Structure 1
Amino acid sequence: MQTEKVTEHIVAWLKEYATNANMKGFVIGISGGIDSAVTSTLCAKTGLELLCLEMPIHQADNQVTRADRHIDWLQRNFKNVSRQPVNLTPVFDSLVAALPPVENEEDRFMSLANTRARLRMTTLYYFAALQKYLVAGTGNKVEDFGVGFYTKYGDGGVDLSPIADLLKTQVYAIGKFLNLNEDIIKAAPTDGLWGDNRTDEDQIGASYPELEWAMKMKDAGKTPNDFVGREKEVFLIFNRFHIANQHKMVSIPVCKIPMSLF
């Protein structure tokens, strides 16, 4: 990958899109991870306004610290960056208290994890509407089109996706090129939806380089029978997520009414 040229291309694309849409800039949620750090920096490089939101919900301290340091770094390097902390923990707790109890607490736990992402999406669009900003997405190619590792109408609810054609390893390459803080480069990827330190690999069962390999193999028409050992295991993991999360990666189905019924 021609990292510098790819970076310049994304920045130019972002600026052109916002200008054509008659929007003043971008709003983005900063998680402390590589994807939001790279995306926010690319948005800042457009010269248009960038609002960075910190939206903790029972967040692990290390995630909050990394996010805070990254926004500090952005503001030192770009005059067009502003920040807005929004503590969503009491909002989340109030919603949980208002919901009826369920028999299976594990199902409730998963549902509430996705609710965190949807509260953040709602908050991003609140500020976007106020300031005439676009909500910038932070999903990469493997997450968005490979395993569907994001929340529908949560972090998947955005106006544009600057890095969705980049593999995770390519996002890291751009992060290094942009001289992002070392703690972000070294941090294990996590979706931050659980209030603990579990990583994406803990949840998926495979690393991003492994998933990228599996995505490439699937695109080449390979099947599980073409592999053995860990390769077969990773390929099956990728397939399982890819199939289960198709509802996120395809257009919303529309029931077409036959003309004869009108």
Structure 2
Amino acid sequence: MQTEKVIDHIVTWLKEYATKANMNGFVVGISGGIDSAVTSSLCAKTGLNTLCVEMPIHQAQSQINRAQEHINQLKERFSNVSDTRVDLTPVFEELKTAVPTVDPSAQLDLSLANTRARLRMSTLYYFAGLHRFLVAGTGNKVEDFGVGFYTKYGDGGVDLSPIADLLKSEVYAIGKTLEVPNSIQIAAPTDGLFGDSRSDEDQIGATYDELEWAMKMKDQGKSSSDFEGRESEVFNIFIRLNTVNQHKMNPIPVCKIPVNLL
């Protein structure tokens, strides 16, 4: 990958899109992870207003520290970058008291995790509406089009996706060139939605390198019978998630009414 040229291409694309849309800049949710760090850095390089928003909900202190380190560094380097912090923990807890009580289960945990992501999406659009900003998505190619590892109408609810055509390894390469803090570059990827230390690999059952390999194999028309051992396991994980999460990747289905019924 021609990293510098890819960076220039994305920055030009972002600036042209915002200018043509008559928008004033971008708002990005900062998590302390590589994807949001790279996305916000690319937005900052456009020279347009870039608002970095922290939205902790029972967040681990390590994630908060990394997010703040990145924001502070970005503000030192770019005069067009500003930041704000919205503690959504009280909002999240209040919502939990307003909905019916159910028995604890894995499904409840997942529902609450997705609720966190959707509260953050609403917060980003609040600021976007105030300032005529675009909500910049932070999803990469493996997450968005491989395994669907994001929340529908949560972190998947964005105006544009600057890094969604980049594999995770490519995002890391760009992050290094953009001088993203080392603490972020070496941190285990996590969505931070469960209030514990589980990583993306813990949830998915495979590393991003393994998922990139499986994605490539699928594109080459391979099937699970072509592999054995760990390769077979990883390929099946990828295929299963790619299949069950198609509802996130495809357009919303519309019920078409026959002309003779209108």
Q: Deviations over 1:58-114 (max 9, x none)?
A: 001100000011000000000000000000000000000111111353221110000
The 1-side partners of 2:199 and 2:75 are apart by 28
**TM-score of the two chains, using structure 1 as the length reference:** 0.99
TM-score of the two chains, using structure 2 as the length reference? 0.99
Aligned positions of 1:1-262 closer than 5 A: 1-262=1-262
Shift, 1:251, TM fit: 0.3
| Deviation for aligned residue 1:260 | 1.2
> Number of paired residues?
262
Return the alpha-carbon distance in structure 1 between the equivalents of residues 16 and 222 of structure 2: 39
Q: Please list every run of 5 or more consecutive structure 1 residues that lacks an aligned counterpart in the other structure.
A: none
2:83 is matched by which residue type in structure 1?
A: R
Shift of 1:204: 0.2
Q: Deviations over 1:125-155 (max 9, x none)?
A: 0000000000000000000000000000000
CA RMSD of aligned residues (A): 0.6
Q: Which amino acid aligns with 2:79?
A: K
The whole-number CA distance in structure 1 between the counterparts of 2:249 and 2:180 is 30
The CA distance in 1 between the partners of 2:54 and 2:64, in whole Å, is 8
Residues in 1 aligned to 2:109 and 2:182: alpha-carbon distance in whole angstroms: 32
Deviates more, 1:84-93 or 1:97-106: 97-106
Which consecutive unaligned segments of at least 5 residues does structure 2 have? Answer: none
Q: Secondary structure at the match of 1:153?
A: coil
Question: Once the 2 structures are TM-superposed, how far is the Cα of residue 236 of structure 1 from its aligned partner?
Answer: 0.2
Moved over 2 A (4+): 103-106
Cα-to-partner distance string for 1:11-44 (whole Å, 9 max, x where unaligned) = 0000000000000000010000000000000000
C-alpha separation in 1, matches of 2:134 and 2:195: 28
| Structure-1 separation of matches of 2:128 and 2:77 | 23
- d(CA) in 2 for partners of 1:83 and 1:150? 24
Letter paired with 2:46: T
Could you tell me how far apart the structure 2 residues matched to 1:180 and 1:136 are?
18
Q: Structure 1, residues 201-240: CA drift from partner, whole Å, max 9, x if none?
A: 0000000010000000001000000001100000000001
Cα distance in structure 2, aligned partners of 1:197 and 1:221: 36
Q: Deviations over 1:45-68 (max 9, x none)?
A: 000000000000000110000001
Q: Percent identity?
A: 71
Partner AA of 1:9 in structure 2:
H
